[in-house]
Amino acid sequence: MWLRLDRYGNNQSVAAFHPTYGANFPNSGPYDQHMSFLMGNSRQSEAELRDATLLLKGLRAEDEANYTCEFVTFPWGSSKGVTWLRVLAEPQNHAEAQEVTLVSEPKPMARCVSTGGRPPARISWFSPLPGQGTETRTAGPVPGTFTVTSRFTLVPTPEANGAKVTCKVEHETFPEPILIPLTLSVKYPPQVSISGYDDNWFVGRVEATLTCDAQSNPEPTSYEWSTTTGPLPTTAVPQGPRLVIRAVDESVNTTFICSVVNPVGNGRAEQSIRVRDTPRASTGDVGPVVWGAVGGTLLLLLLLAGGAMAFILLRRRRRKSPGGGGAGGSYDPKTQVFGNGGPVLWTPPAPGPAKKEDEEEEEEEEGGLMLPHPAGAEDDMESQLDGSLISRRAVYV
């Protein structure tokens, strides 16, 4: 006999089996429609008759309960066993992005739904955006099941358009979580900028181009070029998002406007143009000139330094050479006696202030005269009538 423990804690007989009288379902109702015993009929063998396995067909949520199997034997009495029947239902899952328009308040931008699960499924979101998931739970399509709906809420911005989010669904019946990727969609008016101006538009330049760059969702439906002073110059030719200047002249010296329209709204951008008389030197042309000037300056400084060093070394060498007037000079008796073959004449310096170079030379000579003569040099010399000095020890021919 099988007993079922109801929600109030009372055991209710749901099926009974007798070897002679066969199967019996005391509680006439839904149970006798989808319950049966594994044995076929009463003419089974004795071993088979001992198997009172209960089969449930078309399992339902209300079948979940504690079941007790009780055996009654004679003369040994009765025994029983208890089991818990748990009913699971695998849910069906789907997700979708919800297209929204640019606003300043949070809006649901994606929805993930898990339908008919028992127990309820668990839903979470993965996204680089600062959104939040909000969850609701309702009754599923089958009694005892649940439908879980999670919405990903975020403030719609142009940056959120095209962003990737992932819905993750977990349930006990899944061997691993279900991941559903989505791409968000935000409708917003065109965001416009103009490119192509390099600040080197000069008179005579040809085929200069401006490009109107527009970011929007949905795509722009029209582009319109104009200027702040009125219509376009005669040399300007609009080609959708591009404006081609066939030849640059003074009429191009103005501010161009690009206006873009899409189903959500419109946007515009401006670009001021300054026309030069001559082309501006490029960075590639200025570089060699600058480096050439720097190199020339360094070479000149090196030459000046080398010349100064050579002059200083030459002057020091002259001071150290014989007869140079420095402290390294020597006395040659033969030179003093014979000289150049004539008398030694002294010419007084011209009157007037001495030059700086002469003063330096005199100081050097005086410095040399301040050195003491070798021992016995004064006693060995004899003055002559012509003012010269001769050695007493020398032999003259």
- 117 vs 382, which has greater pLDDT? 117
Q: Is the pTM of this model over 0.85?
A: no
Residue 61: helix, strand or coil by DSSP?
helix
- 282 vs 238, which has greater pLDDT? 238
Q: What pLDDT is recorded for position 71? A: 85
- Mean pLDDT throughout 373-395? 57
- Mean pLDDT throughout 126-145? 95
Burial of 194 from C-beta contacts in 10 A (0-12 / 13-18 / 19+): buried
Q: What pLDDT is recorded for position 300? A: 85
User: Is residue 113 predicted with pLDDT exceeding 90?
Assistant: yes
pLDDT tens digits, one per residue of 318-330? 666 555 444 444 4
Q: What pLDDT is recorded for position 367? A: 44
pLDDT tens digits, one per residue of 19-28? 777 788 876 5
Asked which of 6-20, 241-255, 287-301 is least confident by mean pLDDT, the reply is 287-301
- Mean pLDDT throughout 252-257? 96
Q: What pLDDT is recorded for position 345? A: 47
Tell me the C-alpha distance between 84 and 69, whole Å: 11
Longest distance between any two alpha carbons in the chain, whole Å: 181
Q: What pLDDT is recorded for position 195? A: 97
- Of the candidates 238, 206, 204, 236, which has an alpha carbon nearest to the alpha carbon of residue 223? 238
Q: Contact at 8 Å (CB) between 150 and 127?
A: no
Domains, the chain, ranges and CATH? 2-85 (2.60.40.10), 92-184 (2.60.40.10), 189-276 (2.60.40.10), 332-341+379-397 (no CATH)
State the first-to-last Cα distance of the chain, in angstroms, to the nearest integer.
Answer: 168
pLDDT tens digits, one per residue of 225-235? 999 988 899 99
- Mean pLDDT throughout 112-141? 96
Q: What pLDDT is recorded for position 48? A: 54
pLDDT tens digits, one per residue of 47-81? 455 678 888 888 888 888 999 998 887 778 888 89
Tell me the C-alpha distance between 397 and 384, whole Å: 17
Q: What one-character-per-residue DSSP string does 143-211 give?
A: TT-EEEEEEEEE---GGGTT-EEEEEEE-TT-SS-EEEEEE--EEEEEEEEEE---S-EETT-EEEEEE
